[in-house]
Structure 1
């Protein structure tokens, strides 16, 4: 889902880009997401035996081969398990997918294939079986891939901050605005079949002098805090707090604890009882989620955990991704 309306809010910072600009770069990562399955969503939902069911592989490999054509080295990242604080979101999504599938089946029985197709696109889900089949294709093409232990977004953010010689990457291609909240330095959205896309670079966002909305007084923690306030997969927003209001609060107070106090005073009767704790947990996931270290081949946190953070949680870190 991403952060609602974040990309629209940050439109002044979006610049057109073509993938050829990254020719010779060591790595660009592609997030395997639901959009790959739209062309065969009906067949996937119906578990058809038709070859069309595998069109998502063709769709995805076109993007991979497009990068290779322009001399860019692709790496694909897959989601692993869900972090515990995303359980409510996943439950709601599964409920909606089931409802859309029921509606699609009804339209199909009525003979309205076009309407059914649109509903199946909303009902389709990326499954481990689909990921496995794509991985087999990637292996046969000698394409590097990583399966994240939990959120692919956290894995992408971690890789985007590595040095090039250690597997670092130049940009992330995705449709998920969460990547900005995770702190990926360069994110490319809406890449078409010809390689055109839209890019946001965080360094330019934080350094822009005259661009509005301004982020000059933000650091990465405040920016991520703004995203959590606006509502994310880990925590719904407080009623009446969208991305514009969240930006205004962060711009005014520049302190997360102060903002939470103001919200409690102004909207306490509309907030979850444990909103402050849930907020800090969500913020921590964006900063410290568990990822796979491609160099040591071990699980670690995206960023090191501060000592006071460990003490405040009594070392209960399962919400960042349980350690096996």
Structure 2
């Protein structure tokens, strides 16, 4: 059988992420639906780490959008291709072996996250769903402050966890280790070897897996596209992903968000009928995200009210700036537009041209806000 594994990065770009990952490029031609990507090496890319216990995405967005989220079973997508945010499942799998990952990462027990991951892959295949696993690639420059803050918290949790373990308080130690353990490129490497053996499609995105997944969701299946995304990260909503499955359990039950239905429906006093995707993404950014913290006092509910009332992002930002109840940083508006540019125009791998492209065509007004600095969308010399 032809291999269905694929990489979005060549060896020299992968070496930026991890020396061990540089050996991942398959010797045989990749699956034609997702060809090997050509990505220039950049010293500005860093390894991607995620810390357990860190909420992923827009704070409280899923709770706010609950009226529009419905129960679903993965068998709904039988016969279709579904994208998987690899680090979401790696996260959940690592909960079962957080102590081993922190204290003895080379032990057999520290690999239980792989069993968790492959159980869910095989669950999809049992229900005739084709899994397409997408890994994060290099870090986005605009997340550097967030990543650094998480790194410090992770290191502190590791120190405290070891102290609790010495004191004999195993339960407290495990709780801290869950906050301390990181999903490393080495862990991704081990998983990818299994995916290759099991003939499972996978892609290493140039930067954010979220953006790559959102892009794949815009393509037809015969072009390497996917019908939905499985993740725990609400950022996929801000990226405009058409269909998302959250909180999928080991039996295939999850919670489904459909963007088109949301923009057409009124539920529990929430109405998005006057929203387009840009306004919806703007609401998410106002509520706060990894790229830009919210203005103090602005949460998801207030962000929705502002967008719903004004229906114009420029007007919302100017109103917010003039409102004395809020302390808006001097650079907030400029940062807001840059963040919106990331969600709309992040660099992804284009299957047709076999090169990098923007998630959506870059608009001229964003060029003005970015002042020619397109590295914020993913460094690409």
CA distance in 2, matches of 1:225, 1:95: 29
CA distance in 2, matches of 1:107, 1:182: 40
- The 5-angstrom pairing of residues 1-324 of structure 1 reads 1-25=56-80, 27-33=81-87, 34-267=91-324, 270-324=327-381
Local SS of the residue matching 2:182: coil
Local SS of the residue matching 1:197: strand
- Structure 1 unaligned regions, length at least 5: none
Q: C-alpha offsets along residues 206-248 of structure 1, whole Å, 9 cap, x if unaligned?
A: 0014553111110000000000000000000000000000000
Local SS of the residue matching 1:234: coil
User: Where does residue 30 of structure 2 map in the other structure?
Assistant: none
Q: Is the 8 A contact 1:83 1:321 kept in 2?
A: yes
CA distance in 1, matches of 2:163, 2:141: 34
CA RMSD of aligned residues (A): 1.4
CA distance in 2, matches of 1:208, 1:43: 46
Q: Report how far residue 149 of structure 1 moved.
A: 0.9
- Note closer, same or farther for the CA distance 1:269–1:206 as it changes in structure 2 (3 Å cut): closer
CA distance in 1, matches of 2:274, 2:151: 39
More divergent stretch after superposition (212-221 vs 295-304) = 295-304
CA distance in 2, matches of 1:193, 1:212: 33
After TM superposition, where is structure 1 displaced by more than 6 Å over at least 4 residues in a row?
none
Q: Is the 8 A contact 1:77 1:145 kept in 2?
A: yes
CA distance in 1, matches of 2:349, 2:104: 32
CA distance in 2, matches of 1:154, 1:205: 20
TM-score, normalised by the number of residues in structure 1? 0.96
Q: Is the 8 A contact 1:12 1:212 kept in 2?
A: no
- Note closer, same or farther for the CA distance 1:299–1:214 as it changes in structure 2 (3 Å cut): same
More divergent stretch after superposition (192-201 vs 116-125) = 116-125
Q: C-alpha offsets along residues 97-148 of structure 1, whole Å, 9 cap, x if unaligned?
A: 1111111111111111121111111111111111111111101111100101
Q: Report the number of matched residues.
A: 323
Local SS of the residue matching 2:254: strand
CA distance in 1, matches of 2:146, 2:325: 23
CA distance in 2, matches of 1:272, 1:37: 38
Q: Report how far residue 295 of structure 1 moved.
A: 3.5
More divergent stretch after superposition (218-227 vs 202-211) = 202-211
- Note closer, same or farther for the CA distance 1:310–1:48 as it changes in structure 2 (3 Å cut): closer
Q: Is the 8 A contact 1:18 1:195 kept in 2?
A: yes
